[in-house]
Amino acid sequence: MVDNRFLELKKISKTYPGVKALDEVNMDICQGEIHALVGENGAGKSTLIKILAGAEIPDPGGGIYIDGEAVSFSHPLESLRRRIAVTYQDLSLFPNLSVVENITISRQIEEGAWRLDWEVMTDTARDALARLDLNIGLNTKLADLSLANQQLVAITRALVHDARLLILDEPTSTLSHEEVNALFRVIETLKHEGMSVLFISHKLDEVFAIADRITVLRDGQHVGTYPRTDLDEAKLISLMVGRDIRFAHYERLEPGPPLLNVKGLHKRGHFAGISFTLHEGEILGLTGLVGAGRTEVAQAIFGQIIPDGGQLFLHGEKVNIDSTNQAVKAGIAYIPESRQTQGLFLGKTLADNLSVIRLDSLVNRFGLIRRDELKSYVQNWIKKLAIRPPYPEMVIDQFSGGNQQKTILAKWLAYEPKVLIVDEPTNGIDVGAKSEIHQLLRDLAGQGMGIIMISSELPEVIAVCDRILVMRRGRIAAEFDKDTATQEKIMNVAILGNNAQRSVS
Ligand SMILES: Nc1ncnc2c1ncn2[C@@H]1O[C@H](COP(=O)(O)OP(=O)(O)OP(=O)(O)O)[C@@H](O)[C@H]1O
Ligand SMILES: [Mg+2]
């Protein structure tokens, strides 16, 4: 391989109070390569990226070199001047401005333009979008775009900034299959133009599909950087977690009597003809492309959106659910797809966040919190979901993205509803912790809970669910049994609508 390394990190460390997030990490980026950064939740991936972005300052003792020259960034603008562009999950775009403005405004500001030249801006944005073969309306307000397109706008902006390195922190975690493909096409184009891309992902199939080299971090240390062709998935996992992990085969009991009956649920423009039965002790998978209507159906069952028609029966009795309050009273809980800090009390500790929902049961009749019980309750959930680091008194803001997700999940799982709907429960969660969450869901089902699991990750759906419904364009297009479901069959239905073999129940 030609040595075209242009960026080097040497002995980069970052210490937070009590945590060494990075410990003398060495790595380099070559020009025109796609480089994946992987590791368990809390391994230090986001911290490394923040340092490259000038958003965090590393400990003294290490160095960043560009073309052999030592550089230091103490502000995001400084790394942008060195042509390093970062898009975080929140994308830092301007929702009320147009696509043109979002793509070009920071460039204009950086160049010190004393007035905005609308014509130049439009031309620049149009060219950049065309170079990436993107079909996004120039004058559309950003807020009116899908999340996927907003992300593509953020990437187009990096192109306009003439970035040498584009950094993406979990860019695919909220994208559908088709959107991921579109993003990857754009990344490949950038690569052919000589740009380098560094991205973080927990989805190893994606890493193998697109990365030229893969860097593995574990507990803040650099395990190694490998050409993709030197690794396979099993090898990579053992490098990440230091042990072998396989998707376990879960003990499944015969599902019990019908618990929730959904009959003919429909809402104009969203979904129609939704009928199915969820049994006690059953995990029912609800899959399909993002946008197929899965989340809307869940929200309708949970009273968050009111359907135009249809009926719900719990234990055979008709229930009217017009509000989330009624749903909760009836014993239905819905854990929405969590994005970053949504659903957390920022500034509060891990213990506070974990216990907030069960506080009533942890208070004695004098209104005092039973400290010992609270403590063991919190410890128990930290252990169950392997939350790292296991410090109840640490402020939630200081946990890594994946550990924040686990906290949100734990908070709701503790609620012990009869019917639990989880939406993409393992999004952003590492491969080791994933199997712990799967086991937990199986355990809850084993206690009689009925669970609807919305997930786009087919290996997960197949490993965990008893039955799988595939939605396509607002309808249930097929139903599979755990023994007959394969990824291929499910994808076929989800994308093409083939193979419709639903036995209406
Ligand atoms: N502001 C902070 N204060 C204290 N500790 C922090 C802070 N930010 C991160 N950490 C700690 O640094 C470590 C690395 O966190 P980082 O966010 O880099 O992990 P990550 O690899 O991105 O994980 P994930 O996959 O969960 O997003 C974790 O132990 C985290 O708790
Ligand atoms: Mg992270």
Phi-psi region of 139 (alpha: psi -120 to 50; beta: other; left: phi over 0): alpha
DSSP string, 29-62: EETT-EEEEE-STTSSHHHHHHHHTTSS-PPTT-
Whether residue 248 lies inside any domain: the answer is: no
> How many whole angstroms separate alpha carbon 381 and alpha carbon 482?
29
Helices (H), 416-502: 431-446, 458-464, 487-491
55 with 148, same domain: the answer is yes
- For residue 207, the cross-strand partners are none
Does residue 171 line the site of ligand 1, with CB under 6 A?
no
* Cα 451 to Cα 445: distance, rounded to the nearest angstrom: 7
Mutation probe of ligand 1 site: the residue of 400, 404, 408, 426 with most atoms within 8 A of C-beta:
400
- pLDDT band (50, 70, 90) for residue 277: very high
pLDDT digits (tens, 9 = 90+) for 68-121: 999 999 888 889 889 999 887 555 678 889 999 999 887 777 777 667 788 889
Q: What is the CATH number of the domain that holds 187?
A: 3.40.50.300
Same domain, 45 and 117: yes
Residue closest to 9 by CA, chosen among 215, 280, 257: 215
Provide the mean pLDDT of the chain: 88
**Mean pLDDT value across residues 257-266:** 97
Q: Is residue 153 part of a domain?
A: yes
Asked if residue 145 and residue 155 are part of one domain, the reply reads yes
Residue 249 lies in a domain: no
Does the C-beta of 14 come closer than 6 Å to ligand 1? no
**Which ligand lies nearest to the CA atom of residue 202 in the structure?**
1
| Residues 6+ positions from 425 with CB-CB distance below 8 Å | 335, 409, 437, 441, 453, 455
Q: What is the pLDDT of residue 290?
A: 73
pLDDT at residue 91, as a whole number: 58
Structural domain ending residue among the three candidates 212, 241, 270? 241
Residue closest by Cα to atom 19 of ligand 1? 42
pLDDT digits (tens, 9 = 90+) for 37-71: 999 999 999 999 999 999 999 999 999 999 999 99
| Residue 243: other Cβ atoms inside 10 A | 8
CA of 42 from ligand 1 middle (Å) equals 5
Query: With a 6 A CB cut-off, is 399 part of the ligand 1 pocket?
Result: yes
Q: Are residues 236 and 351 in the same domain?
A: no
Give residue 15's pLDDT.
96
Substitution candidate for ligand 1 out of 47, 382, 393 with most atoms within 8 A of CB: 47
> Residue 388 is encoded by which pair of tokens?
């790292």
How high is the pLDDT of residue 106? 77
* HEC-encoded secondary structure of 194-216: CCEEEEECCCHHHHHHHCCEEEE
Q: Tell me, what's the pLDDT at 241?
A: 85
pLDDT at 146: 82
What would the mean pLDDT of 2-12 be, rounded to a whole number?
90
User: pLDDT band at 315, cuts 50/70/90?
Assistant: very high
Nearest ligand, measured from the Cα of 217: 1
From 12, 14, 15, 19, give the residue whose CB has the most ligand 1 atoms within 8 Å, as the site to mutate: 19
pLDDT digits over 426-474, tens only?
888 888 888 888 988 999 999 999 999 999 888 889 999 999 999 999 9
CA nearest to 52, candidates 24, 31, 82: 82
Q: How many CA atoms lie within 13 A of 412 on its CB side?
A: 25
Cα-to-centroid distance, 480 and ligand 1 (Å):
39
Give 257-277 as a 3 state SS string.
CEEEEEEEEEECCCEEEEEEE
Range(s) of the domain holding residue 202:
5-241
Instruction: Identify whether 385 is part of a domain.
Output: yes
Question: Does 122 score more than 70 pLDDT?
Answer: yes
CA 37 to ligand 1 centroid distance, Å: 14
Cβ atoms of 491 and 476 closer than 8 Å = no
Number of domains the chain contains: 3
Q: Give the residue from 340, 329, 341, 337 showing the smallest Cα distance to 294.
A: 337
Selected residue with higher pLDDT from 417 and 363: 417
Q: How far is the CA of 407 from the centre of ligand 1 (A)?
A: 14
Share of the chain above pLDDT 70, in %: 92
Of ligand 1's listed atoms, the one at least distance from the Cα of 428 is 25
Confirm whether 54 is domain-assigned: yes
**Do residues 412 and 333 lie in contact, with contact meaning Cβ atoms separated by under 8 Å?**
yes
Q: Please name the residue that has the structure tokens 């997930």.
A: 455
Residue 201: which pLDDT band, with cuts at 50, 70 and 90?
A: very high
The residue among 273, 207, 263, 279 whose CA lies nearest residue 472 is 273
Per-residue pLDDT reduced to its tens digit, 469-490: 999 999 999 999 988 899 889 9
Distance (angstroms) between ligand 2 centre and the Cα of 47 equals 7
For residue 401, the ligand 1 atom closest to its alpha carbon is 27
Distance 394 CA to ligand 1 centre (A): 12
Residue 203 CA: which ligand is closest?
A: 1
Do 52 and 75 fall into the same domain? yes
Tell me, yes or no, whether 264 and 126 share the same domain. no
Give percent helix, percent strand, percent coil of the chain, each to the nearest 5: 35, 25, 40
Residues 280 and 203 in one domain: no
Is 403's C-beta closer than 6 angstroms to any atom of ligand 1? yes
pLDDT value of position 46: 93
Q: Whose CA is nearest to atom 22 of ligand 1?
A: 46
Alpha-helical runs (H) found in 317-417: 324-330, 350-355, 371-384, 401-413
Give the pLDDT of residue 502.
52
Integer angstrom CA distances of residue 252 from 248, 282, 457: 12, 9, 20
Residue 505 has pLDDT above 80, yes or no: no
HSE-CB of 458 using CA atoms within 13 angstroms: 17
